[in-house]
Structure 1
Amino acid sequence: MNRLLDHLHRSGERIAVHTDSQHLSYVDLAARVQTAASTYGDGRRLVLLETRNDVATLVHYLGALAGGHVVLPVPAGRDHTAVLQTYDPDIAVSDGEVHHRHDTAAHRLHPDLAMLLSTSGSTGSPKLVRLSYTNLLSNAHAISDYLTITENDVAATTLPMSYCYGLSVVNSHLLSGAGLLLTDLSVTDERFWESFRHHRATSFAGVPYTFELLERLEFDRLDLPDLRYITQAGGRMAPERVRRFAEYADAARWQLFVMYGATEATARMAYLAPELALTRPAAIGTPIPGGAFTVDPLPEGTDDTVGELVYRGPNVMLGYARGPADLALGKTVDALHTGDLARRAPDGLYEIVGRTSRFVKMYGLRIDLQRVETALSAAGISAFCADAEDRLVVAARTQEVGGVQQIAAEAAGVPASAVCAVAVDELPLLTSGKPDYPAVRALARAPSQSSATTVRDLFADVLQLGATGIDPDASFVDLGGNSLTYVTTSVRLERVLGRLPADWPQRPVRDLEAMEKPARSRRSWAATMETSVALRAAAIVLIVGSHAELFELWGGAHILLGIAGYNFGRFCLTRRPRTDRVRHLRNTIGWIAVPSVLWVALTLLLTDHYTWTNLLLANKILGPHDSMTAGRLWFVEVLVWTLVALALVFWSPAMDRVERQRPFALAVVFLVVGLALRYDALSLDMGRDAWFTMLAFWFFAIGWAASKATTPLQRVLLTAVLAVALHGYFDSLTRELLVFGGLALVMWLPTIRCPAALTAAAGVLAEASLYTYLVHYQVYALFPGDPLIGVLASLAVGILLTQLVTVARHRLRVRRTERRRTLTPAPR
């Protein structure tokens, strides 16, 4: 105890820990650690510690080490039954509370044993890595050495403390007298970067998926004046991405350290010097200080430069533990056989070229595919396993793919959503009779609408992401969801959850997953549907039916304009960084404008319905104004140019800050501007026809304001404004009441309950509303004298086009994935 506490005291009043609510000096931290250590009782104990990136976890972790106990870190909020039953820890620490499970120590613990960590390949199983104090200290010293960590550094905790990589960040910085910024926020959360800047953090760590998220955030544009370096480990990162981030680093004057390691080596074995990341991005570099590699030749290798990579160093584990009796063992391992095939290049750098066995790296874990197949076989299921696009693909001779998915996920230690289970009549074999694993990989496809049974699979399908490309702490909005994809998502999400929460677009995936219902419990006559989805469906039917003269109920386009504003507030003005907001807006504009222009161009070739100004979506601005058909696309024109103008407005950092600080107030300001145009405050006297141009902006603005209204008083105010502004706007009281009812429903009733069949139909219509709006003028005209068939045909064509575009997007993604797989070297 004294050595660790003495070290903390030596760092004095320097800040050891930053959080959003407090700062702890090393002296303060030492006092808390000493108090925590005293709560564990006499004798060496086995302490199971549920970890979060918070002060309580850090204090109890250090307290257990200071007291000479053996720490077993596990992630909070997970099922630890296997570990609890196998090792029966003396003490369990959860949320800072110490629970004594035995009055006296129940285990014989070797004097060198300091920590037990879940192995990379057996997360969720009782197999653990035994680490000594020497392992921990030597690895922390080596990391501090090659990263040149000083007392002026502050590292943000982007990885969990239960993970060897995350824990190594903590150990190396505290050993160096540096600071830690403790946070569980995702790098996709703007608050993370605000805290990073506020506390002047100098580094953070990431696994390959972290860097994928950083690219989506346009990380190279973030203002991080104190950033000194970023580290990457937890799996192989594509060389082109390494090179790209090395270029970012070179331009912004920070450093990128690519590293290679394993839990069995207490985290790190090799690192690539930052100056080599541009020219040697595929290499793992050189051994860490104090470590050494050898390349053991293969028994039947044809290339004598390639062999199994073997590591030796003081950070190599004591050995594995498979039960409590193993905790009394000393060192049983002298060298770590990594299972990676490697070569040493002429410049002295080591390169990974393949695997000696069927291991793959996913979620930062090393997974033994043979072990997964064995687990399935033990359950009476014949199956072959392969990896594809960071997913585990299982071909099984059974129709119960749900059970296959669960067994495979548990055996691999990954979420069930990361497993693609496919039922086959016969397992694919080569002519030699051996498993045809390429054929198994070929079975991997993005889940269809009917097969997406989890939140993660559903989001992966709709947003065109891999299931493992989804951060559980990110929301639908964070993952790139917008007003064009939320319709499909909301309808299908209701099937998965059983009931749709009103704020689902802003909820983290993790929270939604916790609400998932068993498939049998999802069947119900009724379903929850977003009011905005129902209104989009109803509005497009009203628009098409009125234009085809099946009936006369006008006002659908103005309802759609209000809903567009509502979705703008929800999906564009999020907590994401400014550049991400603008990029989101740009993409939304593209998904509306490009199909519109393409349809106009096609129509120009076949009819005289449109003019060249329609190609610019500017007929209402440029004319001609005397055509019976040229003004048909007024709704699309108003929407596109409104979004273009707002994209320019929110490109301004000042406007972006104002909106974040006063979201409702700013929306009301724009509503006032819209109402000034509606009441012709500038005396432009443009007449009623102008109310079907940009002067209809106030409908968009009131929908925007509704999305930011958080109190009943704000909603009452908007409802009153809506009623007053609509009075006399149209020539028809029916039209005014229709629009008022629709927009008031959005303000006061975000979701509705209706028959499940109706929910599905409304979702399909709402998703197809844009394409239906574009094509219906030309389609219903093909059925003169039969408006009902014209309306049904227009809706059918709109739905068909929407489905064709969706299928085309999916096929493009599959081709890109296959191309990447072909070009990507073997994982290390």
Structure 2
Amino acid sequence: MFWLNCADGRDELPFLIDGDETLSYAQLFQSSDDLFSSYKRGVVAILCGRNRETITAYIGALRHRHIPLLLNNDLPDKQLYNLLSLYKADYLFAPSDRSFHAYAAVSAYHSYTLSEYVTDKTVPAPHSDLAMLIPTSGSTGDPKCVRLSHRNIESCTQSIITYLSLDSQRRAVSLLPLHYSYGLSVLNSIVGARGSYLLSLHSPLTRSFWADIVNFGVTDFSAVPFIFESLKRMRFSEEILSSLKVVTQAGGRLTPSLTSHFQSLFSQHGIRYFTMYGQTEASPRIAYLRPEDAVRKAGSVGKALDIGSVSISSEQRVEDEGELIYSGPNVCLGYANNRDDLAKGDDFCGVLHTGDLARIDNEGFIFITGRLKRVVKVNGVSVNLDFIQSRLQDLGYAVYVVGVDDRVYLAVEADEIAPVLNSAKTEFDFHGTVWQAKQFEAIPRTAAGKPDYVSLQAAFMKDHR
């Protein structure tokens, strides 16, 4: 397991670069052991930030077979209280300036405090195979989590290390959140290869971020479509292009024209550019497109990982298109919505129904064509449209929600576009441009009387052609 000590001396290599300080693997492992070695196995809720505290707690929890529950530190207190209440986390690792009832401080590490749950000691024990919990939608407070095993995490991590040819000379940067499965996989694969990881709080739209890339010799840059779209007009200096070795894109679909733009730009400078596809349920990788295949297989997300396989479901299949099914050791155990669910075993048995429509060509390359389920990605983060809809309906709005990646559409009948938009922006921490609303004389419905989401989606898309 990549979070355990190596016997070959590589733990003395530099790992975490935090400003002027560089920690070796051995040093960080010691700090992580100091945090968790004295406590019995339990769920550790970690309020994640791009900082050494989060990384130390995450690795420490894994090393001592605790179950990290990775939460967005930017969630409002009300949503965090709800998650902590549902999962009855045995321990809470949070910034020291945040306090939560039912938890008593037991130790401190830099700017964070480890607290123990003191209200109810009779909570159900988690399943022995359970290693980690990652929310399916980290930015909304939706309590649904993916249950991952040690085997899930390790198998996927080792596969990523192999196809990216990672080794101890590689250096990644903390651009993506660690409560987000793509961002976490970047950290996991660097740790598994015993490479190094630069902590940077700068935005990739600032000169300071790219100065860090050059000054600290970052070799690997990973981002979601929203970031690449923001960088399309940027002129990358020779210093930046000389430092980078590999660029990866995942977290949603990037337009073919932008994919071609970045593939061409980076390939001209010897930088390998990978388009990747995955889901949190796959720990989180399913497929990748090698740079060598980028031109002749434009629009594809590549082939399945070497540890897995893909197929098209026979149900609701139209010619060669249908729901993509992935099978492999990295497929999660299942879902959880509360503490009782943590006692469950392997519900998925290595088979993931992705909810994505796809076709697979005769060489095994996957082309994603749409979605079956009502989930979109906003800035690379999965967002459950049903959860947003129920939250807004709970506030009294007769609203129905549809969307596409980076756009959430609100359909209403009453004259309440302005208030429903204001409530959406207050309830959910997305950029204002994500939201669009439209008033209908009557919400279209199916023969069964249910909202016709297909027709609603078509109406919004017609307005934005």
TM-score (norm 2): 0.86
Q: Check the 8 A contact 2:378/2:405 in 1, yes or no.
A: no
| Structure 1, 233-242 or 96-105: larger mean CA deviation | 96-105
Partner of 1:88: 88
Q: Aligned partner of 2:460: which letter?
A: R
Q: Matched residues in 1 for 2:240 and 2:3: separation? A: 37
Establish whether residue 53 from structure 1 lines up as the match of residue 68 from structure 2: no
Q: Aligned partner of 1:193: which letter?
A: W
Instruction: Choose from 336, 339, 343 the match for 2:352.
Output: 336
Which deviations, in whole Å up to 9, do the C-alpha atoms of 1:749-789 show, x marking residues without a partner?
Answer: xxxxxxxxxxxxxxxxxxxxxxxxxxxxxxxxxxxxxxxxx
Partner of 2:109: none
Richer in helix (by share): 1
Q: CA deviation at 1:316?
A: 0.6
Q: Check the 8 A contact 2:61/2:67 in 1, yes or no.
A: yes
Richer in strand (by share): 2
SS of residue in 1 equivalent to 2:342: helix
Q: Check the 8 A contact 1:240/1:281 in 2, yes or no.
A: no
Partner of 1:714: none
Q: CA deviation at 1:374?
A: 4.9
Instruction: Choose from 134, 150, 153 the match for 1:117.
Output: 134
Q: Matched residues in 2 for 1:371 and 1:30: separation? A: 38
Q: Check the 8 A contact 1:393/1:421 in 2, yes or no.
A: yes
What's the Cα RMSD here? 2.9
Partner of 1:35: 34
The alignment-based identity, stated in percent, is 31
SS of residue in 1 equivalent to 2:420: helix
SS of residue in 2 equivalent to 1:330: coil
* Greater relative contact order structure (CA < 8 Å, 6+ sep): 2
Q: Aligned partner of 2:171: which letter?
A: V
Q: Aligned partner of 2:113: which letter?
A: E
Q: CA deviation at 1:416?
A: 6.2
Which deviations, in whole Å up to 9, do the C-alpha atoms of 1:597-627 show, x marking residues without a partner?
Answer: xxxxxxxxxxxxxxxxxxxxxxxxxxxxxxx
Q: Matched residues in 2 for 1:154 and 1:431: separation? A: 56
Q: Matched residues in 1 for 2:443 and 2:384: separation? A: 20
Instruction: Choose from 259, 272, 282 the match for 2:276.
Output: 259
Q: Matched residues in 2 for 1:105 and 1:16: separation? A: 39
Establish whether residue 144 from structure 1 lines up as the match of residue 166 from structure 2: no
Q: Matched residues in 2 for 1:113 and 1:302: separation? A: 37
Q: Matched residues in 2 for 1:156 and 1:263: separation? A: 21
Q: Which runs of 5+ in 1 are unaligned?
A: 445-816, 819-828
Establish whether residue 322 from structure 1 lines up as the match of residue 319 from structure 2: no
Which deviations, in whole Å up to 9, do the C-alpha atoms of 1:299-348 show, x marking residues without a partner?
Answer: 3x441x11210011111111100111011111111211011111111232
Q: Which runs of 5+ in 2 are unaligned?
A: 96-111
Q: Check the 8 A contact 1:220/1:248 in 2, yes or no.
A: no
Which deviations, in whole Å up to 9, do the C-alpha atoms of 1:245-276 show, x marking residues without a partner?
Answer: 11011111101011000111111110001111
Establish whether residue 355 from structure 1 lines up as the match of residue 371 from structure 2: yes
Q: Check the 8 A contact 1:295/1:310 in 2, yes or no.
A: yes
Instruction: Choose from 32, 39, 62 the match for 1:65.
Output: 62
Q: CA deviation at 1:109?
A: 1.1
Partner of 2:242: 225
SS of residue in 1 equivalent to 2:243: coil
Instruction: Choose from 174, 196, 219 the match for 2:213.
Output: 196
Q: Aligned partner of 2:39: which letter?
A: D
SS of residue in 2 equivalent to 1:197: helix
Q: Matched residues in 2 for 1:432 and 1:329: separation? A: 34
Give the 5 Å matches for 1:557-706: none
SS of residue in 2 equivalent to 1:216: coil
Q: Matched residues in 2 for 1:430 and 1:61: separation? A: 46
Change in Cα spacing, 1:107 to 1:3, as seen in structure 2 (3 Å) is farther
Q: Aligned partner of 2:87: which letter?
A: Y
Q: CA deviation at 1:15?
A: 0.7
Q: CA deviation at 1:217?
A: 2.1
Instruction: Choose from 376, 381, 392 the match for 2:408.
Output: 392
Q: Aligned partner of 1:47: which letter?
A: V
Partner of 1:18: 17
Q: Matched residues in 2 for 1:42 and 1:226: separation? A: 42
Q: Between Structure 1 and Structure 2, whose CA radius of gyration is higher? A: 1
Partner of 2:460: 441
Change in Cα spacing, 1:42 to 1:273, as seen in structure 2 (3 Å) is same
Q: Aligned partner of 2:49: which letter?
A: R
Q: Matched residues in 1 for 2:322 and 2:237: separation? A: 38
Q: Matched residues in 1 for 2:230 and 2:432: separation? A: 22
| Structure 1, 140-149 or 85-94: larger mean CA deviation | 85-94
SS of residue in 2 equivalent to 1:124: coil
Change in Cα spacing, 1:135 to 1:374, as seen in structure 2 (3 Å) is same
Change in Cα spacing, 1:163 to 1:370, as seen in structure 2 (3 Å) is closer
Q: Aligned partner of 1:286: which letter?
A: K
Change in Cα spacing, 1:368 to 1:151, as seen in structure 2 (3 Å) is same
| Structure 1, 367-376 or 354-363: larger mean CA deviation | 367-376
Q: Check the 8 A contact 2:11/2:194 in 1, yes or no.
A: no
Change in Cα spacing, 1:246 to 1:416, as seen in structure 2 (3 Å) is closer
Change in Cα spacing, 1:181 to 1:30, as seen in structure 2 (3 Å) is same
Q: CA deviation at 1:190?
A: 1.3
Instruction: Choose from 86, 110, 113 the match for 1:97.
Output: 113
Q: Aligned partner of 1:31: which letter?
A: Q
Partner of 1:286: 303
Q: CA deviation at 1:97?
A: 1.5
SS of residue in 2 equivalent to 1:225: helix
Q: CA deviation at 1:387?
A: 2.6
Which deviations, in whole Å up to 9, do the C-alpha atoms of 1:509-547 show, x marking residues without a partner?
Answer: xxxxxxxxxxxxxxxxxxxxxxxxxxxxxxxxxxxxxxx
Change in Cα spacing, 1:372 to 1:28, as seen in structure 2 (3 Å) is closer
Partner of 2:105: none
Q: Matched residues in 2 for 1:52 and 1:327: separation? A: 25
Change in Cα spacing, 1:50 to 1:431, as seen in structure 2 (3 Å) is closer
Give the 5 Å matches for 1:153-164: 153-164=170-181
Q: Aligned partner of 1:81: which letter?
A: Y
Give the 5 Å matches for 1:646-795: none
Partner of 1:555: none
Q: CA deviation at 1:110?
A: 0.9
TM-score (norm 1): 0.50
Q: Matched residues in 2 for 1:231 and 1:60: separation? A: 26
Q: Check the 8 A contact 1:52/1:160 in 2, yes or no.
A: yes
